[in-house]
Homo-oligomer: A and B are copies of this chain.
């Protein structure tokens, strides 16, 4: 049976391949985007997990939008305006997929920063979107380019990860947030805000969601994979009710609804009195990991490389001298270090600046330092 044309356009995932190679316990993997399992708040979830069998309603079919007590809690917790709605998804990745399916016709234009999140490019590719990229600078997207893009290309939506971007770690400035929201309103472009790393800020002050400046022109994805547990597969999509309703309609066909015991488990966790203290612990751990990595990079990497500090998230982006980054990643893997080369983060992999994404959340301090030493030595001698 021949596969659908839409799937033929999706390249086999390099990430999947490198992650599978990186699962070798002898490899230090800075390639993935995995939280440290020691951060999973299992003890805070235990009472709910142990009580699930005494709440029989979680075992029946439920409503597509989500488990009612969780939806009610999220309305307060996320301070949703009266006119907004939420739909619980099987991870925020499903939210992305549903938004793409609900709104994008083949050929419709979607603006995004370059580089960008691989999983977003996958779902937009599957619906046949025409992905238009705007360069990312230190403060966020290049605003002149963005306005030009809105003006001439008239994209339907602008997809972005403003907090601790994957792969670069960039966090948009307040000014950029305001300006992007303004442009989205002015040019009638929906702002699709993906915020999986937002809670992982370990320095500097939290900035408002971009969508808080254009609440009627935006959809927000929130993930609980980094602050609770990815295995649960629970995320939430919010926006004005008229934006959410078509998403619910697609979700009904896609899986009827997400697992209810998992929604109940998440609710129990979010309501736990120690949840905030848990978040503080996660952030402290990741800050120390990041500092170890950053300090090691500053001491060891060749002068020809450049690394920007980050205030949170899970990744550091290292610009390196022009080279075949895939080949470099392969050599690094043979030396026991897995990283992801920059071209995979662009809709068009050709001719992109050479860089590597390093994850710092799931390796020990010793591994991080060892990886940097190997990495620096290989780059020094790589041409």
Contacts and interface: CB of A to CB of B under 8 A. Distances in A.
Given A91-B256, A258-B90, A7 B249 contact: yes
27 contacts: A4-B104, A5-B105, A6-B101, A7-B102, A12-B249, A16-B252, A32-B61, A37-B56, A37-B57, A37-B60, A43-B53, A46-B53, A49-B50, A49-B52, A60-B229, A60-B231, A89-B255, A90-B255, A119-B253, A123-B253, A231-B260, A232-B259, A233-B260, A234-B259, A254-B254, A259-B259, A261-B262
**Which of under 10, 10 to 19, 20 to 34, or 35 or more describes the interface residues of A?**
35 or more
B61 A225 contact: yes
Contacts of A243: 1
B246 A259 contact: no
Interface in A228-259: 229-234, 243, 246, 249-250, 252-259
Copies in the complex: 2
Interface of A: 1-7, 10, 12-13, 16, 32, 34-35, 37, 40, 42-43, 45-46, 49-50, 52-53, 56-62, 89-91, 93-94, 97, 101-105, 119, 122-123, 126-127, 156-157, 190, 225, 229-234, 243, 246, 249-250, 252-262, 265
Nearest to A33: B61
Contacts of A156: 1-2
A94 B252 contact: no
A37 to B, nearest CB: 5
